[in-house]
Structure 1
Amino acid sequence: MSARGRYFRRLVAGIFAGVFWMDTAFAQSSEAGCRFEPVAGTARQILRCQEGLTIIVEDGARFSLVDRDRNGNADAVRLRRKALLLEAPAGGVQGGFVVVTPQAIAAVRGTRWTVDVGQGKTSVFVLRGRVAVQRPASNAGVVLAPGEGVDVGKLTVKRWPAKRVSALMARLGQ
């Protein structure tokens, strides 16, 4: 089995355990160890969280922070609408960081990536590191490398064109 395959299997095992626990007994707070910083001249916000976790929030995004292990720090986010740009340094969030949307679960150990929810679909794009993506209640999943993205449905990994990446990053002020 390739290193990419082993990485994916480890992440998927963690995703299943974490998502089951999050759905059955999660603790949620408005701050969860993060502080909000407004971005001057925009409606965007930046959340600065424990151990270097940073989340840039698109104007109008609907999300909630989740503290799965109840230690007072966010280790997951439920995203319902619009986009987030996340940066989770390797080893920064114990057990990795998870983004749960209606259509997908994206999990990492250390990376920079975006998750965008809109019109009944979830899209995930990786800028740095690797991200495991799967549909909820499914064993099927993929691992994305830098420059790769997926529109959750068939889970077909594609290298995204620069125009698409630029448009998404512009929405996030990048």
Structure 2
Amino acid sequence: MRALARMMCAAVICGSLVCGALGAGVASAQPTAMGCTSGQLPNAAQILRCRGGVTIVAESGAIYTLQSRNRNGEVDAVDLKGKALLVDAPKHQGRNRFEVTTPQAIAAVRGTKWAVDAQDTRTSVLVLRGQVAVRRPAGNGQVVLGPGQGVDVDPGAGPLIVKRWPQPRVDALLARLGQ
């Protein structure tokens, strides 16, 4: 686990359960339509390998929808509503940032790897390597996180406060993703 913590990662923990779950098979045709192949990991997590080099590991039962904002059929965003995702989105010249959107936050990054976990009332983002910009959907208050920094985003309008995540919190999230 500590070896993975040295890789480019960010963890986003967010809230509200709304859309279909790829991990549960509700949106099982979506990966193929988005140019992805899917497989299963030993801990029941689903792994998607998509065109453009994007890899997404979804915790069993994760609730999310893949997006192609520029409508070219390549995944460039994920709308997450529940549980955890680990996203590896390589840097591409001239492309939009890869985004993970949750009810409380938008985490945008260009060429890094991060995890996203949906809870009932908050979104938390942790960067292990690289940088991730985090803001509320309304656009108020943005922070840019560096390695080891995290932020908890609740539905309120208070300031976003950057903190360091303790290693047990990082390890627990990554373990749920089979990492």
Q: Same fold (TM over 0.5)?
A: yes
Whichever residue aligns with residue 39 of structure 2, its letter is E
Is contact 2:45–2:58 with CA below 8 Å preserved after alignment? yes
Specify every segment of 5 or more residues in structure 2 that has no aligned partner in the other structure, as ranges. Answer: 1-28
User: How many positions carry a matched residue from both structures?
Assistant: 145
Residue 128 of structure 2 aligns to a residue whose secondary structure is strand
**Structure 1 residue ranges (4+ consecutive) displaced by more than 3 angstroms after TM superposition:** none
Residue 80 of structure 1 aligns to a residue whose secondary structure is strand
Cα RMSD, aligned residues only: 1.6
How far the C-alpha of 1:93 sits from its partner, in A, is 8.6
Corresponding residue for residue 62 of structure 1: 63
Whichever residue aligns with residue 131 of structure 2, its letter is R
CA, structure 1 residues 99+83, in 2 after alignment: closer, same or farther (shift >3 Å)? same
How far the C-alpha of 1:53 sits from its partner, in A, is 1.1
1:157 aligns with 2:157: no
- Percent of pairs identical after alignment? 57
Corresponding residue for residue 39 of structure 2: 37
Whichever residue aligns with residue 152 of structure 2, its letter is D
| CA distance in structure 2 between the partners assigned to 1:52 and 1:88 by the alignment | 7
Corresponding residue for residue 75 of structure 2: 74
How far the C-alpha of 1:94 sits from its partner, in A, is 2.2
More helix by share: 1
| CA distance in structure 1 between the partners assigned to 2:160 and 2:39 by the alignment | 34
Is contact 2:97–2:109 with CA below 8 Å preserved after alignment? yes
Map residues 24-173 of structure 1 onto 2, 5 A cutoff. 30-31=30-31, 32-39=34-41, 41-91=42-92, 94-153=95-154, 154-173=159-178
TM-score by length of 2: 0.76
How far the C-alpha of 1:92 sits from its partner, in A, is 7.2
Is contact 1:92–1:110 with CA below 8 Å preserved after alignment? no
